[in-house]
Each structure stands twice: as C-alpha cells, then as structure tokens.
Amino acid sequence: MLLRYLYAVVEGLPSGWRPPPPVAGERVERGTLTGLVILSSSAAVIPPASPTTLALHHEVVASALDAEGLVPFRYGTALRAAEADGWLTRERPALDGALASVRGCVEMSVKLLRLDTTPTDAPPVDAVRDAAEERRLRALADQIVERAALAQWRYRPAGTAGNVVASVAFLVPRAELADFLARIAPVASRAVGIAVVPTGPWPAYSFVPPFDRLPLAPSASPPADRAADRRAG
C-alpha cells in the first residue's frame, strides 16, 4: 500500500526553497492545492519515531519557516496515497483557518531550567515541597506571560526528568521577535534558581489543530516540552 506522508501546508513558499532529505520515500515533493503548497513524500511504510526520524521531519517543516504561512503536521501524519487529494480538499476549511491563525507568526519556547540539580540518589521530594515548587514555577510563568504581552501562549510542566521543569510557548509575529525577547529579558535576569531560556523560532506546532489520521500512521509522542497543555491563554 502506497502512503502519502505529510509534512506541512505552506502559503507563500519562498522561491529559493530546496527540499531537505525525507523521513520516508525517495524525496520531499511539492504539491499544490489551489494556491497552497503541500510538502509530502511517497512511501511504502512510515518508520518508527526516533531521534533521527524526528529530526528529519523537523528539518523538512522548518525549511519552510520563512513562508508567509506554515501549518506543520506532526510526525507520522500520513494517508493512503489514493485518499490524499480528497482528504486535503475536505480539510481545506480547517487548513485555511489554521493558516489564518498563524500567518506571519512563529513559535518561541521559553524553557525554565532548574539550576540546582538534585543528585540521582537523593530522596524524592515530598508533596508539600512539590506543590510549592509548582506554584513558584507558575508564578514565574505568569510574569513571563505578562511581560510578553501576547494573546496566544501555552504553559507546560515538563515533569521531573532532567533540568527542564516547565516551558511557555508563545505565538509571536515574526516582526516582533526582537521586541518579544527584550520584553521578557527583565524576568530572566531576576529569576532565582531557575534559568529562563528562550528557544526558537520554531514552526507553530503548539498553535494549530492536529490533523493526524489514526490508526493508519500513529503520530509520535510529542517531546516533553510539547506535552498536553495545562493552561492556555
């Protein structure tokens, strides 16, 4: 069975765009859908998610980051090749809506990193201290959100593994990236015991609806900083 692996729907793809290596199949293809570009590849199978395949998927999506509008698909989004055109046509209203919501914008992720790492043989944190830590992180995230002054954001705790304890994703107009970083800088400079680290720009994964087709090609679990939203603005 031949599949069509989907990377992104793009509006205004730059003329100098060149296809990166694909996740599956021989090459990334540039199809059209009434004014839009569909980045996809043909494949017999979808490889399991791994650091390598996830990186390949991201490179294809990010190659179109300078386009006017970019709706990224999550890893593993695929259709039977014979159904792809019909599905895209049926989903056109949702795709247009997603494009409108992120047009001219990129995603910035502000990671909160614990500076005082706990030894692996240390006793677990008790519930009271754990709740206090969460309140402290939420208060810091609230300060970042207030300073950012952007309507669209997502707060995500990152669990206990590693030194990334939470993150806040923002949908930022491309022209405001420098201003955004300047606005949140005072919060970063005053944070105690936590490093406030902006990363990006990224495709707006956090701000478009999922278009996964299950169970044909199950999507990979999102990275830790893209876990289920705890709070949205």
Distance, in Å, from the CA atom of 56 to the CA atom of 109, rounded to the nearest integer, reads: 20
Look at residue 125 in the predicted model and tell me its pLDDT: 53
Same-domain pairing of 118 and 34? no
Look at residue 126 in the predicted model and tell me its pLDDT: 58
Residue 213 included in any domain: no
Average the pLDDT over 28-57 and give the result.
94
Residue 233 included in any domain: no
Is the model more confident about 106 or about 218?
106
pLDDT tens by residue, 122-170: 555 555 556 777 888 899 999 999 999 999 999 988 765 568 889 999 9
Look at residue 179 in the predicted model and tell me its pLDDT: 97
* Strand pairing category for 29-33 and 36-43: antiparallel
Residue 83 included in any domain: yes
| Structure token digits, residue 46 | 């979808």
Q: Containing domain of residue 155, as a range?
A: 105-201
Distance, in Å, from the CA atom of 127 to the CA atom of 187, rounded to the nearest integer, reads: 27
Cβ(88)–Cβ(98) under 8 Å? no
Same-domain pairing of 33 and 55? yes
Same-domain pairing of 77 and 89? yes
Residue 17 has pLDDT above 80, yes or no: yes
Same-domain pairing of 127 and 196? yes
Average the pLDDT over 94-108 and give the result.
96
Beta-bridge partner residues of 17: none
- Total number of domains constituting the chain: 2
Is the model more confident about 165 or about 62?
62
**228 CB contacts (<8 Å, ≥6 apart)?**
156
pLDDT tens by residue, 163-221: 888 999 999 999 999 999 999 999 988 888 889 999 999 999 999 988 765 444 444 43
Residue 35 included in any domain: yes
Backbone angles phi, psi at 168, to 5 degrees: -130, 120
Residue 221 included in any domain: no
Dihedral over alpha carbons 24, 53, 88, 2 (to 10 degrees):
30
